[in-house]
Amino acid sequence: MKNCLGKLKPLLYIGFIKLEQMSKNERTHTSKELAQYIEATNSITKPWLLVQLRLKKLQERRATLTNDVYTKELEDIYQDLMNLGEWWRGIEDEVF
């Protein structure tokens, strides 16, 4: 798991999702709120937002997963993100 998290370190902030544990005083969006945002902005065709949604859902389920299952799912999400390539090229103003 440490190896996978190390690879993800620069990617932990994607949009408004933070994968790492946040302090109890910080407000995070729920997967439901993110899904509503994706739907409201007709962004279902934006794969980086779908990756965010998967990360958020994984974060919400973390307490119920074994380390092995969590690591496997995180690695799957990471691989899908890497398969997107440099998706932001040419649309930086839209996504950052």
The DSSP secondary structure of 61-77, one letter per residue, reads HGGGS-HHHHHHHHHHH
The structure tokens listed for 56 are: 């958020």
- State the pTM of this model: 0.67
Closest to 59 in 3D by CA, of 7, 6, 16 = 16
From residue 45, give the alpha-carbon distance in Å to each of 12, 19, 42, 68, 78: 21, 22, 8, 30, 19
Quote the pLDDT of residue 51. Answer: 93
Q: What share of the chain is helix, strand, coil (3-state, %, to 5)?
A: 60, 5, 35
Q: Where residue 26 falls among pLDDT bands split at 50, 70, 90? A: low
Tell me the C-alpha distance between 59 and 81, whole Å: 16
The structure tokens listed for 41 are: 């902005």
Give the residue carrying structure tokens 């103003």.
Answer: 93
The structure tokens listed for 8 are: 């993800």
The structure tokens listed for 86 are: 């440099």
Quote the pLDDT of residue 94. Answer: 77
